Amino acid sequence: MKEKTNPTVFGVSGLVIIAFIVMGVAFTGPLLAATETTRNWIGERIGWIYVLATVFFVGTAVFLMLSRYGNIRLGPDDSRPEFSTLAWFAMLFTTGMGIGLVFWGVAEPIEHLHWPRDAALNPDSEGVPQPEAASESLALTFFHWGFHPWAVYIALGLSLGYFAYRKGLPLRPASALYPLLGDRAFGWPGNIVDILAVFGTMFGLATSLGLGTLQINGGLTEMFGVPNNPLVQTVIIAVISAVALFSVLSGIDKGLRRLSVINLWLAFILLAFVFLVGPKLWIIASTTTATGEYLSNLVSWSLSFPSPRVEPQAAAWTQAWTVFYWGWWISWAPFVGIFLARISYGRTIREFVIGALFAPTAVCVLWFGVFGGSGLFYDLSGRANFVEGDEADAAFTLLDALPISGVVAVIAAVWLLAVVAIFFITSADSGSLVVDMLTNGGTRNPNRFQRGFWAVCLGAVTWILLVAGGDDALSALQAASVITGLPFAVILLFMAVGLFKGLASERAPGEPKRARAEDRPRAEDRPRSGDGHGHSHGGMH
């Protein structure tokens, strides 16, 4: 194992992670204040960098899909995908959104309803929200979870997939900078990029898994009276981390792929159930209206960065929500982007963009339309009170409001808990794979026991932040991981430039095919059969 490890990335990443854990537990207050002050400064002063960067990434993804470059494969011209389309989409979707969709599916539209972007839509003097704010609440949720986050993931994932599978470079962020830096990309500049990637991945996942743990505990409390305390949360983390470790040791094909496909079906069945027993006409009407509002305002919202002096409420809302989300998605880009690249060997750029931009956005619209739309209906009609509860309980509050019997309600709640738990497992599994790849110089098939080590570490970090450090430590480190999005936004822009420079060397249509050594992946860098990584089936299966 020793010869595979990048000592600089592994050592520095480990020290930074340990230092933040210690500070988060021992000096929660000062760290929380420092990180939130920094995050607020970024939002007020240079949040426009996030705004313009995400717009650029969306434009880049659409351009590549429509251009002649769309036919280029992530690999040799005769390569074919390693995973079936369903399995590929299930893995990219459960990794890219997962727990966040279930956690915020009801909660975010409700938050926007009671704290609207437009001051004219403020609740009345008695705190009752205006019905006309409902469609904008849903549309803004689509905006935060739609094209922009997936375009960010594509910016990194497509660059890595192209240079790794078509040019034979290691599957690490530094490879995307090779056209700009040459061999220096694998020196200290590349190590810095990889360290930032490890940091964002570990703490981004830990905070997300912490939210998942809170939601599972909240559901158990709501349905079965299980105490909501650190001991129960410790058991939840330990049990799910053990299952995730088993999935890691089973390999991508036997473990992660199967779990992802299973959970995609479980989530779809839950979605269909809530739609069928919920306010169907309202869901259809509100989703359709909100989709139209989202698409019609896509350009204006994408470029919106209100001035605090002119539009104080809109500016505060934008900094708290949009700028926060853009920084959060960018800080997650190394994790999701590297994993997307890892599972996308043999796909064309056009397939990659369609599968990783439009398909997930459509699913997000359906998910928030059904869950968020139902939540808005029951909140506006007074049949459920989401405001007094916690965000972690919003989905279970919705299940309580549905016109279903007690037994069916219990089954639905257990089903929801299962979906959250499997999202937890798939995120821990894929996250440990990415971190292990980063600390091993970009090898595509890292040792499964090393991946197991990182899976255990991820569970331990989640436990320390959530249980030992408390909610304040979790908030502080969440803010810290968002801050890492700022340097990575700049890095992603350079990666996009490097990708265009690399694509410029591709032959034009009609030009005779030339066998160039640099266009072929090295044998040791291509996915191998065994451990679920092979492509020996010769096509989609």
Q: How far is the C-alpha of 245 from the C-alpha of 387, rounded, in Å?
A: 37
Supply the DSSP symbol for 73. Answer: B
The highest-confidence range among 9-18, 178-187, 442-451, by mean pLDDT, is: 178-187
- DSSP for 500-527 reads HHHHTTSPPTTSPP---GGGS--GGGS-
First-to-last CA distance in the chain? 33
Tokens, residue 238:
């330990």
Domain-embedded: residue 319 = yes
Domain-embedded: residue 272 = yes
Confidence check: pLDDT of 534 > 70: no
What percent of the chain has pLDDT above 90? 29
pLDDT tens across 186-195, in order? Answer: 888 888 888 8
Query: What DSSP element (H or E) covers 317?
Result: helix 312-320
**Confidence at 214, pLDDT banded by 50, 70, 90:** confident
Q: What residue type is assigned to position 12 of the chain?
A: V
pLDDT of residue 527: 42
Of 46-55, 56-65, 97-106, 229-238, minimum mean pLDDT range: 97-106
Confidence check: pLDDT of 155 > 80: yes
3-class DSSP string for 283-310? HHHHHHHHHHHHHHCHHHHHCCCCCCCC
Domain-embedded: residue 539 = no
Q: CA 462 → CA 238, 249, 493, distances in Å?
A: 10, 20, 31
pLDDT of residue 368: 96
Domain-embedded: residue 244 = no
pLDDT of residue 172: 86
Confidence check: pLDDT of 516 > 70: no
pLDDT of residue 500: 94
pLDDT tens across 82-117, in order? Answer: 888 888 887 777 666 777 888 889 999 999 998 888
Contacts 24+ apart (CB under 8 A), 189-193: 191/6, 191/8, 191/9, 191/12, 193/491
Q: How far is the C-alpha of 364 from the C-alpha of 531, rounded, in Å?
A: 32
pLDDT tens across 14-54, in order? Answer: 787 777 777 766 776 777 777 778 888 887 888 889 999 99
Task: Collect all residues with Cβ–Cβ distance below 8 Å to 219 and sequence separation of at least 6.
Answer: 395, 396, 413, 416, 417, 420
Domain-embedded: residue 519 = no
**Confidence at 528, pLDDT banded by 50, 70, 90:** very low
Domain-embedded: residue 522 = no
Tokens, residue 220:
């158990």
Q: What domain range is 69 assigned to?
A: 2-123+133-222+259-506
Q: Which residue has the higher pLDDT, 34 or 169?
A: 169
pLDDT of residue 254: 57
Confidence check: pLDDT of 481 > 50: yes
Q: What are the φ and ψ backbone dihedral angles of 348, each rounded to 5 degrees?
A: -80, 160
| Beta pairing partners, 73 | 348
pLDDT of residue 498: 94
**Confidence at 509, pLDDT banded by 50, 70, 90:** very low
Domain-embedded: residue 513 = no
Closest among 116, 233, 62, 200 to 485, alpha carbons compared: 200
Q: Is 536 exposed, middle or buried (0-12, 13-18, 19+ CB in 10 A)?
A: exposed
Closest among 295, 290, 292 to 368, alpha carbons compared: 290
**Confidence at 286, pLDDT banded by 50, 70, 90:** very high
Closest among 459, 281, 241, 506 to 374, alpha carbons compared: 281
Number of domains in the chain: 1
Closest among 156, 198, 160 to 5, alpha carbons compared: 198
The number of residues making up the chain comes to 541
- DSSP for 16-32 reads HHHHHHHHHHHSHHHHH
Domain-embedded: residue 229 = no
How large is the average pLDDT for residues 5-16?
Answer: 77
- The three-state secondary structure class of 348 is strand
pLDDT of residue 525: 42
How large is the average pLDDT for residues 275-291?
Answer: 95
